[in-house]
Amino acid sequence: MSDVFAVEGLAGEKRLAGTIRVGGAKNAILKALAAQALFEDEVQFLNVPEIEDVKRMRELLTYAKSTPVLKKDIAERFRASIVLAGPLLARHGEVTFPFPGGCVLGERPIDLFLNGFVAMGVAVEETGGQFVLRAPKGKLKGAHIVFPFISVTGTETLMLAATLAEGETILENAAMEPEIGHLAEFLNSCGAKIQGTGTPVIRVQGGPLLRANGKAYTTPPDRIETGSFMIFAALLGKEVTVTDCEPAHVGALTTLLTHAGVPIEVSKDSITVRAPKEMKSFSVRTHEYPGFPTDLQAPIAVLLSQATGEGTISETIFDGRFRYADDLALMGADITVMNPHRILVRGPRALTRKNLESPDLRAGLAYILAAAVAKGTSVISNAYVIDRGYQRVEERLQKLGLNITRKQV
Q: Report, as residue numbers or ranges, the catalytic residues.
A: 103
H or E element at residue 223? helix 223-236
9 binds ligand EPU (CB under 6 A): no
Instruction: Name the residue type at position 33.
Output: L
The one among 229, 318, 322, 367 contacting ligand EPU by CB under 6 A? 318
CA dist list (Å): 346 to 217, 293, 294: 44, 21, 20
Round to whole Å and give the CA distance between 75 and 111.
Answer: 17
**CB neighbours of residue 2 within 10 Å:** 10
Judged by CB, which is closer to ligand EPU: 135, or 158? 158
Instruction: Name the residue type at position 124.
Output: V
Judged by CB, which is closer to ligand EPU: 80, or 301? 80
Stretch that binds ligand EPU, among 145-153, 164-172, 348-356, 368-376 (CB under 6 A): 145-153
42 binds ligand EPU (CB under 6 A): no
341 binds ligand EPU (CB under 6 A): no
Kindly state the smallest distance separating residue 144's Cβ from ligand EPU, in Å: 18
Kindly state the smallest distance separating residue 288's Cβ from ligand EPU, in Å: 7
Stretch that binds ligand EPU, among 106-114, 273-281, 329-337, 342-350 (CB under 6 A): 106-114
Stretch that binds ligand EPU, among 16-24, 101-109, 243-251, 363-371 (CB under 6 A): 101-109
The one among 197, 294, 378, 382 contacting ligand EPU by CB under 6 A? 294
The one among 153, 163, 169, 391 contacting ligand EPU by CB under 6 A? 153
27 binds ligand EPU (CB under 6 A): yes
Angle at 81 between CA 80 and CA 87, to 5 degrees: 105
92: left (phi over 0), alpha (psi -120 to 50) or beta: alpha
Kindly state the smallest distance separating residue 267's Cβ from ligand EPU, in Å: 26
222 binds ligand EPU (CB under 6 A): no
Task: Name the H helices within 65-203.
Answer: 72-75, 85-92, 111-119, 152-162, 178-189
Round to whole Å and give the CA distance between 321 and 300.
Answer: 13
Helix, coil or strand: residue 257? helix
Round to whole Å and give the CA distance between 188 and 182.
Answer: 10
Residues that bind ligand EPU (CB under 6 A): 26-27, 30, 79-80, 103, 107-113, 149, 151-154, 293-295, 317-318, 361-362, 389
